[in-house]
């Protein structure tokens, strides 16, 4: 008789095998190492884990990447635990020599996530299950630690340097905070860092993916910036707190319960409270993953009345053209001239938009030609930017428009405050708009305002509206006033 020996497997051996095969099981098994809270295993956690594991499979085999990965989920959805804390230690179960770059919007946050990731690796459970993986004693810091087989995890804050370190994975977790989303400078900083610095820190640019996991904060946040680059394929996982058309992929809609992503973490009562706390704009981005203000935000664009034809000139009480001028040509802000009218029935009309990025001499020529086309009956407003340069520029435009009635306007308050009176009329259904090709970009800007990338068309429209509603005092051919 041949005696068959059945190999004996310890509990640690079984656990190790399960965790190597499934990142989701690894997260469940090691949850207690990083959190004392009772876990809530909502379906979205397994979806995120599976997406990361599928992406890792191609990197493990050194296959050219098919895409980068973007995951948009609300704050408090366990995204940092999955991506920044658990994923690097799991990668080492298959590829212990891999190096991983993990970034967040501040260095302190990146360091804290790195510390928690290190705690997983040095835990008794990890050591028992994966005895070959030990941290190197001479590279044991919170910012940068290595294992004895050559793998490493390096953390960095947005804008930080990663000199001398190249990663097999680049994981970016919340590179922007809600306050930073309100700053054009901060948006540019993080987008430049992600598009110009991070790609150079990859072991193999054809293989190594970028993983971005974040809550949406602005139309031009890192998610928006990555998605608009058509040359770079992206797989986009978008999971708003409430069921909405922007759920991606669409088949995940069936997992929502009573229209909710996570009925325990984000039940209806919690969501209502968050709407009050975050406000319309904050909730739309952070919870809705759609950084467009709810119900059209400040401007309810659905309330614009589109008209194929405008009333005859004699039907208007007054028509104005207001210019919001950009300082430079070829980039940045736009110069916009908004032609607006008030008819005898008290309705406001947006009749025409002239918009472009022109250098000073070309801009002044276009403003003059537009005035000639509009005719002398159209009064002209010119915004004066702060400082002596703004004053000189406005005066140059006035001289350029000799023979027309021109008003220099010195804006008061921020853009949203100045736009509010016009928003009241729009939202009340009292603004009509002449159908023309410029409507698309015009509406896009209003839809996102005040978090739109460009605000020049809103500024010009607000200025034109203010002109139509201000009692003007004429001084020769020039009218001065403040709003």
pLDDT digits (tens, 9 = 90+) for 254-266: 999 999 999 999 9
Average pLDDT estimate for 107-125: 94
Quote the pTM value.
Answer: 0.66
The domain boundary, picked from 291, 316, 342, lies at: 291
Question: Using 50, 70 and 90 to split pLDDT, how confident is the model at 9?
Answer: low
**Which of 234-243, 310-319, 365-374 has the least mean pLDDT?**
310-319
Average predicted confidence (pLDDT) for the chain? 89
pLDDT in tens, 166-184: 999 999 999 999 888 878 8
Residue 2 lies in a domain: no
Closest CA to 472 of 383, 424, 406, 425: 406
Indicate the length of the chain as a whole number: 483
Rounded to 5 degrees, what are φ and ψ at 91?
-55, -40
425, two tokens:
């009329």
- The mean pLDDT value for 274-290 works out to 85
Q: What is the DSSP letter of 240?
A: -
Instruction: Grade residue 2 by pLDDT with cuts at 50, 70 and 90.
Output: low
Q: Does 349 lie in the same domain as 420?
A: yes
Query: Does residue 478 have a pLDDT over 50?
Result: no
Sheet holding 431-434, edge to edge: 305-307, 431-434, 348-356, 335-343, 316-324, 379-383, 406-410, 478-482, 474-475
State the pLDDT at residue 479: 42
Range 122-125 contact pairs with CB under 8 angstroms and sequence separation of 24 or more: 123/30, 123/33, 125/15, 125/29, 125/30, 125/33
DSSP H or E run through 173: strand 169-173
Predicted local distance difference test score (pLDDT) of residue 330: 60
Per DSSP, the residues of 107-157 read HHHHHHHHHHHHHHHTSHHHHHH-TT--EEEEEE-SSEEEETTS-EEEEEE
Per-residue model confidence as pLDDT tens digits over 357-395: 999 999 999 999 999 999 999 999 999 887 777 888 889
The average pLDDT across 396-404 equals: 93
For residues 273 and 420, state if they share a domain: no
Identify whether residues 454 and 368 lie together within a single domain.
yes
Q: Which tokens is 58 given?
A: 């191609």
Question: Is residue 202 domain-shared with residue 334, that is, in the same domain?
Answer: no
CATH, residue 255: 3.40.50
Q: What are the helix (H) ranges across 169-326?
A: 184-192, 222-227, 268-286
Residues 283 and 428 in one domain: no
3-class secondary-structure state, position 362: helix
Confidence of residue 480 (pLDDT cuts 50, 70, 90): very low
Tell me: do 232 and 134 sit in the same domain. Answer: yes
Residues 26-39 have a mean pLDDT of 92
Mean pLDDT of 115-128: 94
Q: Is the pLDDT of residue 82 over 50?
A: yes
Q: Is residue 4 part of a domain?
A: no
Number of domains in the chain: 2
- pLDDT over 90 at 112, yes or no: yes
The parent domain of residue 447 ranges over: 301-482
Tell me, yes or no, whether 412 and 460 share the same domain.
Answer: yes
Question: Is beta strand 169-173 parallel, antiparallel or unpaired with respect to 99-104?
Answer: parallel
Q: Which of 336, 466, 337 is nearest to 409 (CA)?
A: 466
Please report, rounded to a whole number, the percentage of residues in the chain having pLDDT higher than 70. 93
The pLDDT value given to residue 1: 53
Kindly state the tokens that stand for 71. 């995951």
Q: DSSP letter for 159, please.
A: T
**Of 271-280, 290-299, 431-440, which has the strongest mean pLDDT?**
431-440
**pLDDT digit string, tens, across residues 326-349:** 866 666 789 999 999 999 999 999
> What's the CATH code of the domain at 399?
3.30.420.280
Q: Which two tokens stand for residue 176?
A: 């922007």
Contact 251, 245 (CB under 8 A): no
Of 246-255, 267-276, 349-358, least confident by mean pLDDT is 267-276
pLDDT tops 90 at residue 290: no
Inside any domain, residue 5: no
Domain assignment present for residue 296? The answer is no
Q: Tell me, yes or no, whether 306 and 285 share the same domain.
A: no
**Per-residue confidence at 295, pLDDT binned at 50, 70, 90?**
very low
Average pLDDT on 459-465 reads 96
**DSSP characters for 311-342?**
PPGGGEEEEEEEEE--SSSSSSS-EEEEEEEE
Do 163 and 307 lie in one domain? The reply is no
Query: Do 284 and 316 share a domain, yes or no?
Result: no
Q: Is residue 6 part of a domain?
A: no
pLDDT of residue 220: 87
Same domain, 344 and 273: no
The verdict on 225 and 93 lying in the same domain is yes
- Three-class secondary structure of residue 72 per DSSP: strand
The separation between the first and the last C-alpha atoms of the chain, rounded to the nearest angstrom, is 102
- Using a 10 angstrom Cβ sphere, with 0-12 exposed, 13-18 middle and 19 or more buried, the burial of residue 189 is middle
């Amino acid at each position: 008789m041949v005696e068959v020996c059945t190999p004996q497997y310890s509990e640690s051996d079984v656990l190790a095998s399960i965790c190597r095969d499934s990142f989701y099981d690894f997260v469940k098994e090691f949850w207690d190492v990083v959190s004392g809270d009772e876990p809530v295993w909502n379906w979205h956690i397994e979806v995120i884990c599976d997406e990361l594991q599928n992406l890792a499979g191609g990197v493990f085999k050194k296959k050219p990447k098919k895409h980068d990965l973007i995951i948009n989920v609300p704050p408090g959805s366990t995204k940092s635990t999955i991506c920044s804390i658990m994923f690097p230690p799991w990668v080492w179960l298959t590829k212990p020599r891999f190096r991983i770059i993990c970034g967040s919007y501040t260095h302190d946050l990146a360091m804290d996530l790195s510390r928690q990731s290190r705690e997983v690796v040095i835990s008794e459970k990890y050591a028992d299950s994966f005895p070959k993986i030990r941290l190197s004693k001479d590279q044991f810091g919170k910012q940068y630690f290595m294992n004895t087989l050559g793998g490493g995890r390096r953390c960095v804050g947005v804008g930080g340097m990663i000199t001398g370190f190249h990663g097999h994975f680049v994981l970016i977790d919340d590179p922007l905070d809600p306050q930073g989303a309100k700053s054009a400078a901060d948006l540019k900083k993080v987008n430049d860092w992600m598009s110009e610095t991070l790609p150079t820190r990859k072991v193999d640019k054809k293989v190594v993916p970028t993983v971005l996991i974040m809550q949406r904060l602005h139309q031009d946040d890192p998610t928006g910036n990555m998605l608009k680059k058509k040359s770079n394929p992206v797989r986009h996982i978008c999971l708003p707190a409430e069921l909405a058309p922007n759920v991606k992929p669409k088949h995940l809609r069936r997992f929502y319960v009573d229209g909710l992503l996570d009925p325990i973490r984000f039940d209806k009562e919690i969501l209502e409270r968050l709407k009050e706390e975050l406000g319309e704009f904050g909730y739309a981005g952070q919870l809705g993953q759609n950084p467009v203000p709810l119900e059209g935000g400040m401007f309810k664009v659905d309330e614009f009345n589109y008209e194929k034809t405008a009333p005859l000139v004699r039907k208007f009480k007054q028509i104005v053209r207001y210019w919001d001028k950009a300082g430079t040509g070829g980039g940045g802000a736009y110069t916009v001239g908004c032609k607006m009218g008030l008819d005898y029935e008290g309705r406001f009309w947006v009749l025409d938009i002239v918009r472009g990025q022109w250098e000073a001499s070309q801009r002044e020529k276009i403003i003059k030609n537009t005035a000639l086309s509009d005719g002398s009956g159209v009064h002209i407003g010119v915004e004066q930017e702060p400082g002596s340069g703004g004053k000189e520029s406005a005066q140059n435009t006035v001289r350029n428009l000799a023979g027309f009635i021109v008003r220099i306007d010195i804006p008061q308050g921020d853009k949203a405050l100045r736009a509010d009176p016009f928003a009241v009329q729009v939202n009340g259904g009292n603004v009509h708009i002449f159908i023309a090709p410029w409507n698309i970009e015009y509406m896009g800007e209003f839809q996102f305002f005040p978090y739109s990338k460009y605000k020049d068309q809103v500024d010009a429209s607000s200025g034109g509206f203010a002109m139509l509603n201000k009692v003007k005092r004429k001084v020769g051919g020039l009218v001065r006033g403040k709003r």
